[in-house]
Structure 1
C-alpha cells in the first residue's frame, strides 16, 4: 500500500511538472500609444498572433497600451530592463545618455523621411555601430518613427523667418537643439501631451510624424503641415525600439526562442517601416479631407534650414567625445548608410 501511495504521489508530481512545462508563456507588451493606434492594430497585434500560432499557443501576449502598465513613456526603458514589462515599444531618445551612439542617426537632416527607407537605415546603423548601446536588452526591432514634420496651428512654416519665436513641441534633446538652431522655442513633451498642450496654446505646433498626427488627432487643431522636398532627408526622425527583457528571453525554451528570433530583426523592422508608410499616406489623405494645408518646402528654404542646423552636429560631436565616441565618424557612417536607403526609397 505504501509503495502504491508513493507511486501515485510521484505520478501526480510528474503530471504537474509536465503541465507547467506546457503552460503558455505570457509576454507583457507595453507601449504609450492608444489601443486604436496604427502601432497596435497594424504591427503589435499581428506580431503577437504570429508568435501564438508558430508556438502552438506557447507564447501569448498581454498588451498594455497607453502606459496602462504604469509610469510615463520615458519609464518604459527601465520597465523592460527591470522586468516590469517583458517587451516594450518606445524611443531610446526619451532617455538621454543611455544610447549615445544611436543618436548619430537621429541628428537633423540625416535619415530618409519615409518609414521603410528610414527603418532599414536605422537597423543597418544599429547593427554596425550601436550594438553596445543595447547590450542590456534583447533587441527585437529598431525602426524609424518616420520623418518629423512641422505641424502648426496658425500658418504654414516655409522659411527660417517663419520659425522665429514659434513654440514647437520637441520629442528629444536633439530635436530641441534643432528647433533652437532654427530660431524656434522648443517645448519638450511626450506624445500623449501634444494635443492638449497645443489646444491650450502651450505650444504653437509640434514636430511630429504623420503617423502620430492622426493617432492623437493633432490634425484637428494644427491644420498646417510642412514636409521636406521629395527625396531629401527628414528634418529629424526618432528611432523607435521594440525591446525584450534579456532574462525573460534567455529563460525561454529553445523552441520558443526560435519563434521570437524568426519574427524579429530586419523582417520585423520592414513591417514597422511599411506600416508607417501606409499610415503616412492615410494621414495625408485625412488631413486633406479636413481641409488642412499641406506644404512641401521649397528646396532653397530647406537648404537654409539645413545650413542653420550644422551647429547641432558640432555640439553633439563635442558632447560624445567625453564618452569616448568619435562623433564625426559616427555621423559620416550614419549619412553613408542613410544615403543608400534614401536612393532606394525614392
Structure 2
C-alpha cells in the first residue's frame, strides 16, 4: 500500500504544480501617451484592457504605466526594444520607415473612420503584412482615426489660395506633401507638441482630427476650421505588442485576445472618433468659431493639385518590392466603396 500512497501523493503534487503554472499571470506593461478623457483611451483602450483580463481568465493583465516610455514618436522602438510590452504607435511619425503602409494614408481615400478603420486592419493583414515593415512588433490592431481637418489660429481657409504662406502642423509625410503642393509650409510634429507651437505663434494652424482638439486643449487656440470632404489624408495608428512577448503567451490566450482586437478593436476606435468629431464641431460652432466644409469646386481643385502624391508613392512602393502598387490602391478604393 505504501507505494500506492507515494504514487498518489506524487500525482497530487504534480497536479498542484500544474495548476499553479496554469494560473500564472503575465502582466503586460503599457506605455500610454493619450491624455485623460481622450475618446480612444476612454471608450476603447481602457475597456479593452479590462476585457483582455476577462477573456484570458486573469492569465494576462495589462498595467498602464504612470507615464509614456520615451517619446510619442518612438513608441514602435519602445515596443520592439522591449522597453515596454504594449504601445500605441503612429507609423507616420517616423518618415521613410513604413512606406508601403502609406497607401492607407493617401489623399481622398475616405473621411468615414467608422468604415475605414476596420477595413484598414483587414487590408493590412491581407495585403501589406507580408512586406514585414513591423518586424519585432506584432500589430494587435491597425486602424485609422478621423481624418485630420484644418484648424487655423487667425486666417480662415476657404480656397486653395488661402493655404499660401501658412505654417501648418503636419502629422505625416503625405499630409506634409499635400500642404506643400497647396502652398503652405508643413511643420512635422507629433500631437503632443502642438499646443506649445500654436500658443507661441510658431504655427498658424494644424491638421488634426476634430475629436482630438478638445482633449489636447487646442480648441481655445484656434478661430476656425475647414472640413475637407473625402479627407486630405488619413493617419494609421497601431496597437502593438513586443513580438517575443506576444509569442510567449499561451496560444489560447493569444486567440482570445485577437477575438477582441483586430477589426473589432478598430471598428470601436472609428466609432469613438466619429462621435467625437461631431461633438467637437458642435462645441466650436456654439462658441462662435465657424467650422464648415470646403465647396466641391475647391475640393476638386485640391484633388488636381495633389495627384503627384499618389504617383510618387507608386514609385517608392516599387523600390520597396511592391510589384503592382496601383493594384493596391485600386483594391483599397474598391473595398472602401462597397456597400
TM over 0.5: yes
8 A Cα contact 1:104 1:331, kept in partner:
no
Structure 2 regions of 5+ residues with no counterpart?
A: 1-8
> Over residues 19-45 of structure 1, what are the superposed CA-to-partner deviations in whole Å (9 max), with x where a residue is unaligned?
455232111122322132112111111
TM-score computed with the length of structure 2 as normaliser: 0.89
8 A Cα contact 1:118 1:338, kept in partner:
no
| 2:286 is equivalent to residue 297 of structure 1 | no
| 2:4 is equivalent to residue 39 of structure 1 | no
**Distance apart, 1:61 and its partner CA:** 1.1
Q: Which residue of 2 aligns with 1:244?
A: 241
Matches within 5 A, 1:46-57: 46-57=47-58
> Over residues 4-29 of structure 1, what are the superposed CA-to-partner deviations in whole Å (9 max), with x where a residue is unaligned?
xxxx9x99998677545523211112
Q: Which residue of 1 aligns with 2:328?
A: 333
Matches within 5 A, 1:6-85: 18-19=19-20, 21-64=22-65, 68-85=67-84
Secondary structure of the corresponding residue to residue 210 of structure 1: coil
Query: How much is the aligned-residue C-alpha RMSD, in angstroms?
Result: 2.6
Range moving further from structure 2, 169-178 or 251-260: 251-260
8 A Cα contact 2:56 2:257, kept in partner:
no
> Over residues 94-148 of structure 1, what are the superposed CA-to-partner deviations in whole Å (9 max), with x where a residue is unaligned?
1233322111121222x21121122133223212321022343322111112111
CA distance in 2, matches of 1:342, 1:105: 14
8 A Cα contact 1:219 1:287, kept in partner:
yes
TM-score computed with the length of structure 1 as normaliser: 0.88
**Distance apart, 1:81 and its partner CA:** 1.1
Q: Which residue of 1 aligns with 2:172?
A: 172
Q: Which residue of 2 aligns with 1:5?
A: none
CA distance in 2, matches of 1:226, 1:339: 27
| 2:264 is equivalent to residue 267 of structure 1 | yes
> Over residues 237-284 of structure 1, what are the superposed CA-to-partner deviations in whole Å (9 max), with x where a residue is unaligned?
111111111111111123322221211121111111111111112212
Q: Which residue of 1 aligns with 2:4?
A: none
Secondary structure of the corresponding residue to residue 211 of structure 2: helix
Evaluate the alpha carbon distance shift between residue 115 and residue 20 of structure 1 in structure 2; reply closer, same or farther with a 3 A threshold: same
Structure 1 regions of 5+ residues with no counterpart?
A: 1-7
CA distance in 2, matches of 1:29, 1:153: 35
Q: Which residue of 2 aligns with 1:87?
A: 86
Q: Which residue of 2 aligns with 1:154?
A: 154
CA distance in 2, matches of 1:239, 1:74: 13
**Distance apart, 1:314 and its partner CA:** 2.6
8 A Cα contact 1:119 1:144, kept in partner:
yes
| 2:219 is equivalent to residue 219 of structure 1 | yes
CA distance in 2, matches of 1:25, 1:262: 19
Q: Which residue of 1 aligns with 2:105?
A: 106
Aligned length: 332
Q: Which residue of 1 aligns with 2:277?
A: 280
Q: Which residue of 1 aligns with 2:126?
A: 128
8 A Cα contact 2:90 2:237, kept in partner:
yes
Secondary structure of the corresponding residue to residue 84 of structure 1: coil
